[in-house]
Amino acid sequence: MLAGAVAIIVQAPRCKDIPAMNWWNYGPLYQIGNVQAFSESQNLKGVEDKIDRLSQLKVKGLVIGPIHVAPLDNLVSLNFEEISSDVGNLEQFKGLITAANKKSINVILDLTPYYLGSGPWFTNVSVTNVAERLKSALVFWLNQGVDGIQLSGVERVSSVVPSLWADIRAIVQNGTEGKKRILIGVTEKTSAVGVSELLNSTGVDLLLSGALRSKSMTAMDRAQTVQQLLSSHNQTRLAWNIGDRTEGHLATLVGPDMVNFNQMLLLTLPGTPVFNYGDEIALADADTKSPKMLWDPLEDETNGTAKEEKEQRLSCRSFFKTLSELRGKERSLQHGDYIPLFNSTSVLAYLRQWDQSGRYVAAFNWGSDAVTLQLSHPDLPAQAVVQVSTDQVNLAPDSTVALSALELGPGQAVLLQFPYIA
């Protein structure tokens, strides 16, 4: 019997080695650009008080700020190392870092110099001065325990003062022994070519862009963008976002009915998904890109319209949480291969698979008409099980569907799962 057991072990297929990944590759990053809008306390202590809520969403990184003192394009008064009194103080910030780290959430500080002014980084004459002052500020904040830095305007700074940009990169990325620190760049570029070139020229770990933001993009445009970037970069360097501090929230950019749809897209693409605060509940912009975050205590008793709105927020959050949990534990979604299955002007479908782990098929219909997809690939079985769906009636969770006749309604998306078969 022992010999037979040995034979079985020897004949079993060898598992592939897990690719080298960083902590930010294992789940979503969550941006809080306006600390005052995020909590009832309107300060950094208020953010700390909500860490449990963010932990429930399986957030891996929290991007805070900018929060430093930066009057409108005023070089004299710019102070990277002082927290604006409007949002709190250093003690509160350090308390936030401690609380976040206890929940395995890393804290990234946005140190964009010009966030209240025009920029980027003022004029050609002053950019050198600003970059020099930024270097010492980086050392200060990294010593306070931040796990990374985010900067907007990286394309201009890296080209105007390349030697100073190399210093900035080295300070953040080289760090000390242990956990790696992240440098995130933010750009207004929207083309895959532009984003790819900037990733190469700046050397940032992740680059937030408008690559998936345009409302005029077709499903085929999105598919081409993803494939172009994957052909030039390892997925551990790719970030996917739609909203941000300056552009606004997901619900405003794609429409409230398409929030879950786009949550699924960002959380199943190969790379790091990045969300704006409130995107998990379909928070929308009104008169400002920094609307007040809405918190719904479970014990609240409401009725009528207020009750319905609360239920919608909680449902949206539950949808996000389910997807985020899958993204954080399933290897096929974390770092698996990306295999296109179908794309047209309105429909996109792809397979995510890794070694002997469970496989996932994600399918999206941006169109106004229902479609029937005849998905085929050597690695696909005849059927798969619905894991998450925006159509709870026709594609209910745990139901089985035929991949040769997958029906998707207008504006609907589904995530299917099937096991590895040797």
pLDDT tens digits, 156-179: 889 999 999 999 999 999 866 677
- Which one is predicted more confidently, 242 or 75? 242
The predicted pLDDT at position 75 comes to 74
Q: What is the H or E stretch that residue 79 is in?
A: strand 79-83
Q: Domain 337-418: which topology?
A: Immunoglobulin-like (2.60.40)
Six-digit token string for 41: 């306390």
Supply the pTM of this predicted model.
0.93
The predicted pLDDT at position 11 comes to 43
Secondary-structure percent of the chain, ordered helix, strand, coil, rounded to 5: 40, 20, 40
The confidence band for 215, taking pLDDT boundaries of 50, 70 and 90, is: confident
The predicted pLDDT at position 3 comes to 41
Tell me the pLDDT tens digit for each residue of 318-363.
Answer: 999 999 999 999 999 999 999 999 999 999 999 999 999 999 999 9
DSSP state of 60: -
The predicted pLDDT at position 41 comes to 94
Contacts of 318 (CB under 8 A, 6+ apart): none
The domain limits of the chain are 23-334, 337-418
- pLDDT at residue 416 tops 50: yes
Domain 23-334 has what CATH class? Answer: alpha beta
The predicted pLDDT at position 5 comes to 40
Whether 266 contacts 275, CB under 8 Å: yes
β-sheet bridge partners, residue 360: 352, 417
The predicted pLDDT at position 177 comes to 63
The predicted pLDDT at position 72 comes to 74
Contacts of 31 (CB under 8 A, 6+ apart): 63, 244, 245, 274, 275, 276, 277
Q: How many CA atoms lie within 13 A of 2 on its CB side?
A: 0
Contacts of 60 (CB under 8 A, 6+ apart): 23, 24, 26, 27, 28, 29, 104, 105, 106, 328
Q: Are 23-334 and 337-418 equal in CATH topology?
A: no
Sign of CA dihedral 239, 241, 246, 247: positive
DSSP state of 39: S
